[in-house]
């Protein structure tokens, strides 16, 4: 496969943009080679500057559940653009999207829109602190909640990919209120509550997607809920990635555990930059201008982003069963690849939640970040570049998740499995 134009584009970009990218994990550093530069996407496919075409299992890291250039979303965006790009004043579109979001989540009475997942989570933490009048927070090693100071501690995603789970530039004073626990280990959370009586909230990705895909055990989440209630702390589900991916009604509908605050992003923007956080009315009433907890943004509730989000979510409202169709495809994909790997003597651990899928080259089950780090990163890199060469675009880090969109057909899944068989054979025979 010729990727010369991408190589040249990357070299130009590196002269002007740190690392040549505007989000670190995109740089392909952990899988080797250079990132491919995308020219366009349509349905299940993306094309690059060299004219290569790939089946896209990244889907812009989650937002594009209906694939690239979904007709309804595209039309909604074009229509919104014709009315004006931004007003910094209320529009009907915000209330319409809010109504839709609230209709999906039992735990959300009111929602505020922001422009990114990072912003949503940062604001949710402030709200939890304001509501409880406490300072400490508990987060889990390997969970990623965006790049705000207090949360960039032992974080997953790009932070883990580059071995800097806690970043320089974050003053120790800013993270002294962040307590760390181990995912799926309730004793580690009990220890946090024993160490501090000032815990405002526990934040968790109930379906972790930033240390690879590692869903939380149901029982663990139930115990977490009980611990929070017993200690007067709020439970935050960070569903920026898993929202409308694991289930249309949130992880609460899969696990039976109701959070106090939910953070959202990705799918709710239909591909435009949007984040949101929501909770029951009593908690949201603390937020300015109703209450004293301050949070604001010039582009918050941007009309074009609201239109894209509304188009995406209303499609999901009308076709909620689509998640189980995607789940069946995702299961077939990982089971198929796992069997092909095994035939070549390679052991894979796989998991699926709705349209999210994950795999580790690991002999043992992965239940937390420590387990994930024991996966074979070199093998992952070989698999990634082999699949890219065959025309299949997977996330370029083992600490990320794969996504199926409705544009990916059963036939494409079978083609992916066939390609994986070829790649595993090449790896085994090398
Ligand atoms: N942190 C994002 C996925 N977990 C990656 C964002 C990006 O590089 O676009």
pLDDT digits (tens, 9 = 90+) for 39-62: 999 999 999 999 999 999 999 999
Write the pLDDT tens digit of every residue in 315-328.
999 998 999 999 99
Closest to 397 (Cα-Cα) out of 249, 195, 134, 210: 210
Write the pLDDT tens digit of every residue in 4-13.
999 999 999 9
Least confident interval from 23-32, 251-260, 308-317:
23-32
Phi and psi, residue 397, nearest 5°: -155, 145
Cβ neighbours of residue 298 closer than 8 Å, sequence gap 6 or more: 86, 88
Active site residue: 45, 54, 144, 310, which one? Answer: 144
Is 157 a pocket residue for ligand 1 (Cβ < 6 Å)? Answer: yes
What average pLDDT does range 292-307 have in this prediction?
Answer: 97
pLDDT over threshold 90, residue 262: yes
Task: Among 146, 157, 266, 403, say which to mutate for ligand 1: greatest number of ligand atoms within 8 Å of CB.
Answer: 157
Is 61 a pocket residue for ligand 1 (Cβ < 6 Å)? Answer: yes
pLDDT over threshold 80, residue 139: yes
Write the pLDDT tens digit of every residue in 300-316.
999 999 999 999 999 99
Ligand 1: nearest atom to the Cα of 210: 4
Residue 234 CA, ligand 1 centroid: distance in Å: 27
Ligand 1: nearest atom to the Cα of 60: 9
pLDDT over 90 percentage in the chain? 92
How confident is the model at residue 196, as a pLDDT?
96
What average pLDDT does range 377-405 have in this prediction?
Answer: 97
Active site residue: 29, 110, 139, 266, which one? Answer: 266
How confident is the model at residue 171, as a pLDDT?
85
Active site residue: 238, 260, 351, 371, which one? Answer: 238
pLDDT over threshold 80, residue 425: yes
What average pLDDT does range 270-277 have in this prediction?
Answer: 98
pLDDT over 70 percentage in the chain? 98
Is 409 a pocket residue for ligand 1 (Cβ < 6 Å)? Answer: no
Is 19 a pocket residue for ligand 1 (Cβ < 6 Å)? Answer: no
Is 183 a pocket residue for ligand 1 (Cβ < 6 Å)? Answer: no
pLDDT over threshold 90, residue 340: yes
How confident is the model at residue 166, as a pLDDT?
73
Residue nearest atom 3 of ligand 1, based on CA coordinates = 61
Is 258 noted as a catalytic residue in this protein? no
Ligand 1: nearest atom to the Cα of 23: 8
Least confident interval from 83-92, 143-152, 388-397:
143-152
What average pLDDT does range 165-179 have in this prediction?
Answer: 85
How confident is the model at residue 164, as a pLDDT?
63
pLDDT over threshold 70, residue 163: no
Position 161 confidence tier, pLDDT thresholds 50, 70, 90 = low
Residue 389 CA, ligand 1 centroid: distance in Å: 22
How confident is the model at residue 332, as a pLDDT?
98
Tokens found for residue 165: 């789970």
Position 430 confidence tier, pLDDT thresholds 50, 70, 90 = confident
pTM summary value: 0.96
DSSP 292-338: SB----TTTT-HHHHHHHHHHHHHHHHTTTHHHHHHHHHHHHHHHHH
CB-CB neighbours of 179 under 10 Å: 21
The CA distance from 154 to 167, in Å, is 9
**For the chain, which domains are there?**
4-69+321-429 (3.90.1150.10), 71-318 (3.40.640.10)
Position 155 confidence tier, pLDDT thresholds 50, 70, 90 = confident
Is 144 noted as a catalytic residue in this protein? yes
Is 177 a pocket residue for ligand 1 (Cβ < 6 Å)? Answer: no
Give ∠ CA 252-134-185 in degrees, rounded to 5: 45
Ligand 1: nearest atom to the Cα of 241: 4
Ligand 1: nearest atom to the Cα of 26: 8
What average pLDDT does range 398-419 have in this prediction?
Answer: 97
The CA distance from 408 to 169, in Å, is 41
How confident is the model at residue 417, as a pLDDT?
98
For all residues of the chain together, what is the average pLDDT? 96
Position 218 confidence tier, pLDDT thresholds 50, 70, 90 = very high
Residue nearest atom 7 of ligand 1, based on CA coordinates = 23
Helix (H) and strand (E) counts in the chain: 15, 16
The CA distance from 376 to 358, in Å, is 14
Is 26 a pocket residue for ligand 1 (Cβ < 6 Å)? Answer: yes
């Amino acid at each position: 496969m010729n990727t010369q134009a991408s190589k040249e584009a990357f070299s130009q970009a590196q002269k002007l943009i740190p690392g040549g990218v505007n989000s670190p994990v995109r740089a392909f550093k952990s899988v080797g080679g250079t990132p491919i530069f995308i020219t366009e996407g349509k349905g299940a496919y993306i094309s690059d500057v060299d004219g290569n075409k790939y089946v896209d299992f990244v889907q812009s890291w989650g937002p594009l559940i209906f694939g690239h250039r979904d007709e309804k979303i595209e039309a909604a965006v074009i229509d919104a653009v014709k009315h004006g790009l931004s007003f910094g004043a209320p529009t009907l579109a915000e209330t319409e999207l809010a109504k839709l979001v609230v209709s999906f989540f039992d735990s959300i009475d009111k929602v505020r829109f922001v422009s990114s997942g990072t912003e949503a989570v940062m604001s949710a933490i402030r709200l939890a602190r304001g509501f409880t009048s406490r300072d400490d927070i508990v987060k889990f090693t390997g969970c990623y909640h965006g790049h705000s100071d207090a949360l960039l501690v032992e974080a997953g995603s790009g932070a883990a990919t580059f071995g800097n789970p806690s970043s320089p530039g974050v003053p120790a004073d800013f993270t002294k209120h962040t307590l760390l626990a181990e995912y799926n280990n309730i004793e580690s959370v009990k220890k946090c509550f024993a160490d501090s009586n000032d815990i405002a909230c526990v934040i968790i990705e109930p379906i972790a997607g930033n240390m690879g895909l590692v869903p939380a055990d149901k029982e663990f989440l139930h115990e977490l809920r009980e611990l929070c209630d017993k200690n007067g702390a709020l439970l935050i589900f960070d569903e920026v990635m898993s929202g409308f991916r694991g289930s249309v009604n949130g992880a609460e509908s899969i696990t039976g555990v109701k959070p106090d605050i939910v953070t959202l992003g990705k799918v709710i923007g239909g591909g435009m930059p949007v984040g949101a956080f929501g909770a029951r009315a009593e908690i949201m009433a603390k937020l300015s201008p109703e209450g004293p907890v301050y949070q604001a943004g010039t582009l918050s509730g941007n009309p074009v982003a609201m239109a894209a989000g509304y188009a995406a979510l209303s499609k999901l409202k009308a076709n909620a069963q689509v998640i189980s169709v995607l789940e069946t495809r995702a299961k077939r994909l990982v089971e198929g690849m796992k069997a092909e790997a095994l035939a070549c003597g390679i052991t894979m651990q796989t998991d699926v939640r709705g349209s999210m899928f994950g795999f580790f080259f690991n002999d043992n089950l992965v239940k937390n970040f420590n387990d994930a780090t024991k996966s074979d990163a070199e093998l992952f890199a070989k698999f990634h570049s082999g699949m890219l060469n065959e025309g299949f675009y997977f996330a370029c880090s083992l600490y990320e998740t794969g996504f199926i969109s409705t544009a990916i057909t059963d036939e494409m899944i079978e083609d992916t499995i066939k390609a994986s068989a070829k790649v595993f054979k090449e790896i085994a025979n090398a």
